[in-house]
Structure 1
């Protein structure tokens, strides 16, 4: 049977298109969270970056946060001020270097995110439990490679 014009039957392309569609749906899910909580999309990305850093045991300065998000100094200051006014973050002295001011995510923001994203996270974990270690390693490798490829396109 001939392939219809404009379609790519390769299984790799099917997966690439599925990943793209998944990224779009995750972006829409994140946008709904931002809208419901009176936030900008960048606010949500900032909170995610801060939570990721917290999980990794890393302190995040405003400069580092701005670099991660691709913001200039003024944009980063406005972002942190907005998140601080909303009670989502706080500025504190660094543990490693008391001269530095680091940005920490408040537990209130973590709880807010967990209430909204928790069901999606739980469903994702449930799906992953259906795979063996070899399959999980393949999934991890694929997603890590795509992330590195996307990061390298900046």
Structure 2
């Protein structure tokens, strides 16, 4: 891949449009997360973390505290404090499901999961509709593109993190 200065590169209208739409999705998703936080009566950071835990558990791939820490972009210490709050408020369970009893798995409590599901029932209708209306081929194209964008952002993050530790 050739190096490009994003500030002086001559971007096509389609490329600019995609970047704007990615930004718009991030803004819209953040707003939805704020609504979830209000619904759950939690600070936004706690609601975001709980949402990550619920999605992962529902997908059958529950998170460890370290995985959640990485997804949230928080230190492990800050994540532990956040998890302590969620556990004390009755939203989260830490279990040891692996043969390696040191490995902690994060699960939402049934009541918390059900409360979040009621929110999604109210708030997720339009998004679910768009997903259902989109052809499998278009979904695969979008998923592949977003995967490449995520990979690029992860690569940049790794490079920037490494440059700070030198």
Deviation at 1:9, TM superposition (A): 6.8
- TM-score for both structures, normalised by structure 1: 0.78
Q: Whole-Å Cα distance in 2 between the matches of residues 22 and 65 of structure 1?
A: 22
Distance in 2, matches of 1:93 and 1:59, equals 11
- Are the equivalent residues in 2 in contact too, given 1:93–1:102 (CA < 8 A)? yes
Structure 1 position 134, deviation (Å)? 1.9
> 1:123-150, CA deviations, whole angstroms, 9 ceiling, x for partnerless residues?
2222233332222221222222233333
The 3 A distance-change label for structure 1 pair 101 and 133 is: closer
Structure 2 partner of 1:13: 16
Tell me, which stretches of 5 or more residues in structure 1 are unaligned?
1-7
TM-score under structure 2 length normalisation: 0.73
What residue number does 1:5 align with?
A: none
Residues 63, 121 of structure 1: CA spacing in aligned structure 2 closer, same or farther, 3 A cutoff? same
1:124 to 127, 146, 161: 127
Secondary structure in 2 matching 1:96: coil
Give unpaired runs (5+ residues) of structure 2. 1-10, 158-166
Q: Provide the aligned C-alpha RMSD in A.
A: 2.4
The answer to whether structure 1 residue 39 and structure 2 residue 42 are counterparts is yes
| Map of 1:133 onto structure 2 | 136
Question: What is the rounded CA distance, in whole Å, between the counterparts of 2:55 and 2:40 in structure 1?
Answer: 20
